[in-house]
């Protein structure tokens, strides 16, 4: 597939800001998103990996990704507020999630934070141009919530490193070229000390990626095995002892500013649900039922709270503050509200009297997939219980039991 930004909207984004930037992004997406990418319509097929990569590369050419990254590393050098405008428009467009969100939203900021100039030049443009898709190798069979319990070892050998161990639940590893690996450079008893991040090329000898089928029938999850894998000196990111603080930064980004678009995507899903329901007499009657109306109202409020969280985080970061543990509030609020909404949406759609109507079928197809994904949202990037613990401990500073 070749996607070309149309000439009419191929304006350099550096000349645009505020409402002009917003209408440029809206129009670009409108004119360039292939019809079968739209997740609110009945589609014959989902995009292939190659199609997704080509489309995301075109988004980059059009100035829609790498918005805040420095220009010398391929970014647009714009403000976080401008990134928010672009994210809001992406959220409002019913399109698939990026296949390289780990690269763009987690690896990019961390490499900008702790990478050497050479690492930034080598790694960052490859992410934006979609030449390198990344995965995140943190969790292990015995270390999920308790990440400090991880056992994958890295030790110095000659001028470089060797790595040995196993990761699990590595989303997208089978389609990735690189893995952001967290490994132990000290002994297990060191817990938070003696950890290091690595930028591991997945085609290196000794690495085996095995897919795990999930309940939605997808093969996105993987196990990644490292058998005495050789890494070069410049594949370590940051100092050997910097791994834990760097990992915490990755997790804070993951919870606070990663996928900023999701509040606006959530709003798009709610609008889609109500519009589809209005086409069916049974669902229209259900909307008039007080209990359903209350659920929809509650969801609407949850979305507004979530938008306020995102806008608050952008203001805080713009004013030089760090979001840190407060990112857990957004993650917890979004995952819990979205999971409830997905269950309510499926329950509502099951009351259709014309389930074969095009609008109801399209909504059912979309919300079945959202329902299954939402089950995982209260687990990944730290479970609900872990977020509650962080809020109690580091936001409210409650005494420990």
- Catalytic, out of 254, 267, 269, 377: 254
Name which of 95 and 386 has its Cβ closer to ligand FAD.
Answer: 386
Active site residue 319: no
User: For ligand FAD, which stretch binds (CB under 6 A), given 64-72, 118-126, 138-146, 314-322?
Assistant: 138-146
Residue of 13, 87, 139, 185 interacting with ligand FAD (CB under 6 A): 139
213 binds ligand FAD (CB under 6 A): no
Q: 275 to each of 40, 122, 271, 272, 307, how far by Cα in Å?
A: 11, 46, 6, 5, 22
CA–CA separation, 190 vs 237, rounded Å? Answer: 19
Residue of 101, 389, 391, 392 interacting with ligand FAD (CB under 6 A): 389
Name which of 232 and 384 has its Cβ closer to ligand FAD.
Answer: 384
Nearest approach, Cβ of residue 132 and ligand FAD (Å): 16
165 binds ligand FAD (CB under 6 A): no
Q: What residues have CB less than 8 Å from 180, skipping those under 6 apart?
A: 102, 106, 107, 110, 134, 135, 136, 137, 138, 197, 198, 199, 200, 237, 250
> In the stretch 283-302, what mask flags binding to ligand FAD with x, by CB under 6 A?
--------------------
Residue of 28, 69, 161, 169 interacting with ligand FAD (CB under 6 A): 169
Residue of 122, 376, 392, 395 interacting with ligand FAD (CB under 6 A): 376
144 binds ligand FAD (CB under 6 A): yes
Residue of 372, 379, 391, 392 interacting with ligand FAD (CB under 6 A): 379
Query: How big is the site for ligand FAD, counted in residues (CB under 6 A)?
Result: 18
Q: In the chain, what is the straight-line distance between the N-terminal and C-terminal CA atoms, in Å?
A: 57
CA–CA separation, 107 vs 171, rounded Å? Answer: 14
Other C-beta atoms within 10 Å of 230: how many? 14
101 binds ligand FAD (CB under 6 A): no
Strand-pair partners of 197: 182, 237
Q: How many residues are recorded in the chain? A: 401
User: For residues 152 and 165, is the Cβ–Cβ distance under 8 A?
Assistant: yes
Q: What residues have CB less than 8 Å from 211, skipping those under 6 apart?
A: 174, 219, 220, 221, 222
Residue of 281, 301, 385, 398 interacting with ligand FAD (CB under 6 A): 385
User: For ligand FAD, which stretch binds (CB under 6 A), given 16-24, 51-59, 169-177, 363-371?
Assistant: 169-177
Q: What is the DSSP string of 9-21?
A: G---GGG--HHHH
CA–CA separation, 119 vs 223, rounded Å? Answer: 26
Q: Footprint of ligand FAD on residues 249-288 (CB under 6 A)?
A: none
Nearest approach, Cβ of residue 26 and ligand FAD (Å): 30
User: For residues 298 and 364, is the Cβ–Cβ distance under 8 A?
Assistant: no
Supply the residues annotated as catalytic.
254
Which residues of the chain form contacts with ligand FAD (CB under 6 A)?
Answer: 135-139, 144-145, 169-171, 376, 379-380, 382-383, 385-386, 389
């Amino acid at each position: 597939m070749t996607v070309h930004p149309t000439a009419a909207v191929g304006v350099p984004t550096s000349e645009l800001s505020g409402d002009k930037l917003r209408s440029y992004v809206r129009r670009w997406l409108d004119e360039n998103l292939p019809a079968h990418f739209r997740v609110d319509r009945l589609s014959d097929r989902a995009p292939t990996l190659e199609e997704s990569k080509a489309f995301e590369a075109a988004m980059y050419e059009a100035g829609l990704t790498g918005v805040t990254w420095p220009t010398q590393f391929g970014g647009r050098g714009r403000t976080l507020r401008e990134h928010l405008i672009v994210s809001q428009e992406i959220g409002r467009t019913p399109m698939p999630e990026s296949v390289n969100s780990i690269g763009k939203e987690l690896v990019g900021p961390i490499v900008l934070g702790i990478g050497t100039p050479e690492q930034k030049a080598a790694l960052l443009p490859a992410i934006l141009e979609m030449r390198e898709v990344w995965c995140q190798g943190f969790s292990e069979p015995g270390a999920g919530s308790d990440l400090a319990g991880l056992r994958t070892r890295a030790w110095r050998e000659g001028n470089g490193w060797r790595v040995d161990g196993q990761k699990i639940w590595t989303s997208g590893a089978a389609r990735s070229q690189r893995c952001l690996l967290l490994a132990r450079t000290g002994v297990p008893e060191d817990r938070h000390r003696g950890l290091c991040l690595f930028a591991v090329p997945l085609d290196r000898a000794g690495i085996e990626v095995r897919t795990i089928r999930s309940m939605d029938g997808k093969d996105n999850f993987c196990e990644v095995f490292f058998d005495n894998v050789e890494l070069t000196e410049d594949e370590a990111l940051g100092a050997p002892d910097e791994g834990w603080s760097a990992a915490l930064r990755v997790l804070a980004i993951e919870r606070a500013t990663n996928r900023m678009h999701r509040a606006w995507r959530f709003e798009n899903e709610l609008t889609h649900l109500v519009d589809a329901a209005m086409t069916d007499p049974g669902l229209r009657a259900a909307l008039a039922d007080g209990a359903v109306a209350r659920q929809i109202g509650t969801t609407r409020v949850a979305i507004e709270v979530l938008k306020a969280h995102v806008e608050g985080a952008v203001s805080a970061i713009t004013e030089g503050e760090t979001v840190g543990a407060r990112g857990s509030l957004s993650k917890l609020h979004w995952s819990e509200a979205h999971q409830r909404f997905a269950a309510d949406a499926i329950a509502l759609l099951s009351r259709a009297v014309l389930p074969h109507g095009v609008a109801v079928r399209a909504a059912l197809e979309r919300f079945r997939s959202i329902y299954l994904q939402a089950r995982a949202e209260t687990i990944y990037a730290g479970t609900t219980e872990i977020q509650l613990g962080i809020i109690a401990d580091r936001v409210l500073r409650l005494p420990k039991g």
